[in-house]
Amino acid sequence: MTNLFQKISLKEYNTFGIDVEALYSFFCYDEKDLISFLRQNKIKKSDICVIGGGSNILPVKNINDILVLMRNKGIKIIEENKNDVFVKVEAGEIWDDFVDWCVRKEFWGTENLSSIPGTVGAAPVQNIGAYGAEVKNVIYKVNTVDTRNGKTESFRNEQCDFGYRNSFFKSEEGKNFIVTSVIFKLSKNPEPDLSYGSLKNKFPDNKAKIEEIRKAVTEIRKSKLPDPKILPNAGSFFKNPVISEAKFTKLRKKFPGLVYYPAEDGKIKLAAGQLIDLCGWKGKQENGAGVHDKQALVIVNYGNADGNTILEFSKKIQQSVYDKFGVLIEREVRVLP
């Protein structure tokens, strides 16, 4: 089969631009090929590593597992009624191409998630979110293949255990499944969500056309987030930390300007970018790795940093945030292997 390659460089397949080698790489252009590959070869979960757009990973050394790169394409309406439309999208579609398709058709639900890098298959795994929206709100079903036996299995939204940047597919059991396509439920009726601060400012009368929201989100992202093609990065490097209300009350006495949002179970979510910023990291560089000068949550590769250099740099940031605020900021980016 020509889908399987030996010893290829991953430099082009991760947005940090890290040059490590993968021993075996399987390019999946069709779910059927993936199924027969899994059935022919007795593969264990630990032998497999799946990537989509490579926009949320940090490779630190050569990968001896089988790297599966999802490249299957297709967007298809499978059902519709007066109010809703159900769209099946193959995992290898570029997420933002799909958002663009939705906006052109005026199908509501993905517009606030405009310009997020990566593929459709990766979207449910980390429940991508931005500007008040999360992809879980438009996911109807996630179709997968079980790496243990090559069998297909579908998960309804409520079976996916979605949380902030989290899902069943990140759990030990969930890692056995490769997402091959996603079925979205989108609304035909205008449902603008302009609740997020920066969108509220742009649309003070709480009205906007779908294409105006896409344009606004794209502009806000461009003004804050570096383009990985120009300055390699993987978006937010850390998750926003969630802490107890009691801890927050104490912290706020010392740092009254802290940005915060209500989170699940009465907890409080802080802005990791602000914490890193307050530690003085914004715009700092070390050994080719740096903190972006417009959004401190983003670590950038100025050209020559390898994966370990970036990882070590990120640990220093974690430690300094912990020393100042007593809060642990967890990585959002997945370190490979």
Candidates 93-101, 184-192, 271-279, 302-310; binding stretch for ligand EPU (CB under 6 A): 271-279
The set of long-range contacts for 86-90, using a CB threshold of 8 Å and a minimum separation of 24, is: 86/140, 86/183, 86/184, 86/185, 86/186, 87/183, 87/184, 87/186, 88/181, 88/182, 88/183, 89/120, 89/181, 89/182, 89/183, 89/184, 90/31, 90/120, 90/121, 90/180, 90/181
Q: Which stretch binds ligand EPU (CB under 6 A): 70-78, 79-87, 149-157, 290-298?
A: 290-298
By CB under 6 A, tell whether 131 contacts ligand EPU: yes
**Interface with ligand EPU in residues 318-337 (CB under 6 A):** 332
d(CA 320, CA 313): 11
Q: Does the footprint of ligand EPU cover residue 236 (CB under 6 A)? A: yes
Residues, the chain: 337
Among positions 208, 296, 310, 317, the unique one binding ligand EPU when judged by CB under 6 A: 296
From the list 71, 282, 324, 334, which residue makes contact with ligand EPU (rule: CB under 6 A)?
A: 282
Q: Interface with ligand EPU includes 162 (CB under 6 A)?
A: no
274 makes contact with ligand EPU (CB under 6 A)? yes
Q: How far is the CB of 41 from ligand EPU (least distance, A)?
A: 34
Residue whose beta carbon is closest to ligand EPU: 235
Binding status of residue 69 toward ligand EPU by CB under 6 A: no
CA dihedral 101, 75, 31, 29 (to 10 degrees): -60
- By the rule CB under 6 A, 277 interacts with ligand EPU: yes
Tell which residue, 59, 60, 92, 57, has the closest CA to residue 74: 92
Specify the residue for token string 């298959």: 121
Task: List residues with catalytic annotation.
Answer: 165, 236, 332
- The first and second tokens of residue 282, run together, are 């914004």
Site residues (vs ligand EPU, CB under 6 A): 130-131, 224-225, 235-236, 239-240, 259, 271, 273-274, 277, 282, 295-297, 332
